[in-house]
Structures are given as C-alpha cells and as structure tokens.
C-alpha cells in the first residue's frame, strides 16, 4: 500500500487496460503502474480517502491516464477534481478516449487536461500512441517539483 506509483491508469474496460499496460511494458516503463477500475476509486486514491486513507497525499503520481467514459464517476469529473485542487493540479493528466467527439475534447481542455489520445482500434497504432505518450510524460516532461 505504501508503494509509490509513477503511472495511474484509470480504466474500467479490462481489455483496454491490459492492452495499455502491454503497450507500456513494451517500452519498459511499466514497473510502477497502478490500475484502478473506476473514477470513484481513482478519487479515493488521489485524495487519500476510503481504503486509501492511509496513503500520503504528497506522493503524487507522475502521470494519470484517465479513461473518459466510466461508470459511477466519469473521467471528466475526476479530471475536474484533480485540476481544482492545489495539491493535485500539477499532475499531468492524459485523457484516453475512443471518441473523436469535439465536445469531449473541448470539455477536457476546459478542465485543464494536459493531453488526450483517441484509442485506435488497430493494435499497432494503439501501442504506438500509448508508448509515445508514456515516454513523453515520463521521460521528457519534467513536472515542477
């Protein structure tokens, strides 16, 4: 429980989660990834409530990959909570979405999302998109300390 994770993957679809994890593994930045099943659990983890109440809130992840469409609390709502809290708003958040609907993307940017990625159906494309993203945020982009 006290382990610190670099990447937080919030994804309700197990297949998508597995494919994402596999894509990241392929480029060897998979050692510290936590997969959470839905938005509610993500909020509990990030803000150290519920079963994550023992966690130190200051141990923030380096990147949050957030699926847009989830049961209970959806991605945009999680994003809004993260970006409106001083302690968490510096965390880079990337929205994962299967939709190209302009509205979702615009709403995401309004709430302060750092990037978004449309999950391609084609596996190679998906791997490439996810790994490019992971590399960029984990290796190139230096979050403010």
Partner 1 sequence: MKSDKAVILIVDDQPSNVFVLEHLLSSKDRVLLQSSNGKDALKIALDKEVDLIILDVQMPGMDGFEVAQILKSNRRTKDIPIIFATAVSKEHKFVMKGYEEGGVDYLYKPLDPEIVKAKVAVLLKIQLQKKELIEKNLALQKNELLINNSSDIIGIIDAANFKIEEINNAFTSILGYSKQEAKETAITFFLSNNDRVLVQQLREQRKDKLFFETRIYCKDRTIKWLQWNVIVKYGKWFVNARDVTEIKEVEKIRNHLATVVHQSNDAIYLHDEEGKIISWNEGAERMYGYSEQEALHMKIWNIIPDYIHPESGEMIMSVTTGNKIQDIETKRVNRHGKLLDVLFSASLITDSLYGHKSIAITERDITEKKRAEEQLRESEKKFRKLFENAPYPMWAYDLTSLKFLEVNETAVKTYGYTKQEFLAMHITDIRPEEEVAKLLEDVKERKKDVESSYGWKHRLRNGNLIYVEITSHLLNYNGHEAVLVVSKDITERKLAEEQIKNLNAELQTNIVQLETTNKELESFSYSVSHDLRAPLRALSGYSKMIEEDYASVLDNEAKRLLGNIQTNAQRMGTLIDDLLAFSRLGRKEVQKTEVNMLKMVSSILNEISLDHKANITVKELPQAYADPALIYQVWINLISNAIKYSAKNDKPEIEIGSKMLDEEIVFYVRDNGAGFDMKYVDKLFGVFQRLHNPNEFEGTGIGLAIVQRIITKHGGRVWATAIPNSGASFYFSLTEQHKQFKHE
Q: Is 116 in the site for partner 1 (CB under 8 A)?
A: no
Q: Is 37 in the site for partner 1 (CB under 8 A)?
A: no
- Least CB distance from residue 99 to partner 1, whole Å? 4
- Least CB distance from residue 96 to partner 1, whole Å? 11
Q: Is 28 in the site for partner 1 (CB under 8 A)?
A: no
The residue range among 9-17, 34-42, 51-59, 137-145 that interacts with partner 1, by the rule CB under 8 A, is 9-17
Q: How many residues does the chain have?
A: 145
- Residues 95/117, Cβ–Cβ less than 8 Å: yes
Q: Which two tokens stand for residue 118?
A: 């449309």
- The C-alpha torsion from 40 through 55 and 25 to 117, rounded to 10°, is 40
In angstroms, rounded to a whole number, what is the distance separating the alpha carbons of residues 140 and 46?
23
Enumerate the H helices of 27-122 as residue ranges: 39-46, 75-83, 102-110
The residue range among 51-59, 84-92, 109-117, 118-126 that interacts with partner 1, by the rule CB under 8 A, is 118-126
The residue ranges that bind partner 1 (CB under 8 A) are 13, 15-16, 18-19, 22, 68-69, 97-101, 119-124, 126
């Amino acid at each position: 429980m006290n382990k610190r994770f670099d990447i937080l993957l919030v994804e309700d679809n197990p297949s998508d989660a597995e494919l994402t994890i596999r894509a990241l593994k392929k480029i060897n930045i998979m050692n510290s990834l936590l997969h959470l099943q839905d938005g509610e659990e993500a909020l509990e983890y990030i803000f150290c409530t519920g079963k994550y109440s023992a966690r130190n809130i200051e141990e923030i992840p380096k990147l949050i990959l957030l699926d847009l469409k989830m049961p209970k609390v959806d991605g945009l709502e999680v994003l809004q909570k993260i970006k409106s809290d001083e302690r968490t708003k510096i965390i880079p958040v990337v929205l994962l979405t299967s939709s190209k609907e302009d509205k979702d993307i615009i709403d995401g940017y309004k709430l302060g999302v750092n990037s978004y990625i449309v999950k391609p159906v084609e596996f190679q494309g998906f791997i490439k998109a996810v790994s490019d993203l992971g590399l960029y945020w984990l290796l190139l982009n230096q979050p403010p300390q």
